[in-house]
Structure 1
């Protein structure tokens, strides 16, 4: 009997809800955990680290969208309402960490750079027994993992979401159509305000200019397609760019590397 995607999400959510107490301060067994994306908003009593062995993970909160392509992970504080999306082939590794053991402070999500050591620690930890010996080698491995998370650099892979209802509708329109060529002037006329007023409001609400926000959004939209190996030219067109060179330049400005360089991940 085949399960619908919604059934799978509900099963995963039920499993997590049933988990009242973590068996260890750091919990991440690959088989015991429902390592599936739960799209509807939910929260946990523990901090969570979402990492994709392959594929791209997207976490959404009221504050915005957080993207984790290869060698990135998303830190979700305890109690933070969030939803998770990913492509079909994405293979997730989740870690749940007790608040008393959490290596990162604050109540905001963040995207972390996963170096070679941290990557192997996450992979190795997911194979440990659920009731691993906290005072033995497995417990020491958990300690090193927490130390590596504490010093992992952050990546600017967050797309802020405005609170103003008009801007939320505007951003939702762009999100539904990454290839849209509608300008700030078009939206200002549609909303009945001047382009200068809309520009100021956009920067106040998101911290970014309209141009940079859309550029970052388009780069985010491109990540799953690029990770799947789609042609850069096709991705550029799907994200609203008229040429591959324009897309590559914009992607480099946002991500600090060309698409080819960004996905040149060591195996």
Structure 2
């Protein structure tokens, strides 16, 4: 059973940027909710997943998820995680058009996020803290997007199938078998899936499996275990797919992670 947590009941922010820090347990869940302001969730340790009605977004360490004001979303972790959340007033248009996305966090942005999250709620907006908040917003607007988002189909049968595959990435049924479960032919599934998500079903499934592997690697699983539990029969195929998506092998990815460090 997930360990539910309740987001703070804020209706307005005391300052331009309001920060908070959380140590999230394994299998934590903040059920679907929304805020009248934007939220940046930075993963310092562990992996954070933010799910909206139309997509899911995975933030491993050194990544952050941006949720625009008013968007319904839930936040989950499968392993323990450390999160810094920054709530930002709705009149600050950082990303256009407004949408949920995952960002690559630079070292400078990381230090600004950590510093802003530690500011008192009533910091002086005309003093150094206020100027830091504006520098932070400028830096956030320059961060590159990370390809760690997964669109969801609108078709209820396809969406249910995707949720099932997300919970069991090692499911090895082929597309025709999955289509039969959804009450359609393989050709119909392929056509509807690409029309509704912009991705071919095979590409969606590959991305979903690799995103699932991130959490296992971050938790300490070795490459072989992460590959098998994510649905890959061959470690070499997993490493090649991982490199193609993330630009580094799993081993290099983890070494970079340790070199850069997490939240102090």
TM-score by length of 2: 0.90
- 2:161 equivalent to 1:170: yes
- 2:108 equivalent to 1:117: yes
- 2:236 equivalent to 1:245: yes
Equivalent position SS for 2:136: helix
Compared CA separation, residues 172 and 101, structure 1 to 2 (3 A)? closer
- After the TM superposition, which residues 202-217 of structure 1 pair with which residues of structure 2 at under 5 Å, given as runs? 202-217=193-208
- 2:159 equivalent to 1:159: no
- 2:211 equivalent to 1:220: yes
Q: Is the 8 A contact 1:53 1:91 kept in 2?
A: yes
Deviation at 1:79, TM superposition (A): 0.5
Equivalent position SS for 2:13: coil
Q: Is there any run of 5+ residues in structure 1 with no aligned partner, and where? A: none
Deviation at 1:53, TM superposition (A): 1.4
Q: 1:73 aligns with which of 64, 67, 75?
A: 64
Q: 2:175 aligns with which of 184, 203, 223?
A: 184
Compared CA separation, residues 42 and 29, structure 1 to 2 (3 A)? closer
- The structure with the greater share of residues assigned to strand is 2
Query: Partners in 1 of 2:36 and 2:142 — Cα distance?
Result: 23
> How many pairs does the alignment contain?
254
Compared CA separation, residues 212 and 138, structure 1 to 2 (3 A)? same
* CA deviation map 1:167-223 (0-9, x unaligned): 112212212211111011222344454322221111111111111111001011111
Deviation at 1:102, TM superposition (A): 3.9
Q: Is there any run of 5+ residues in structure 2 with no aligned partner, and where? A: none
TM-score by length of 1: 0.89
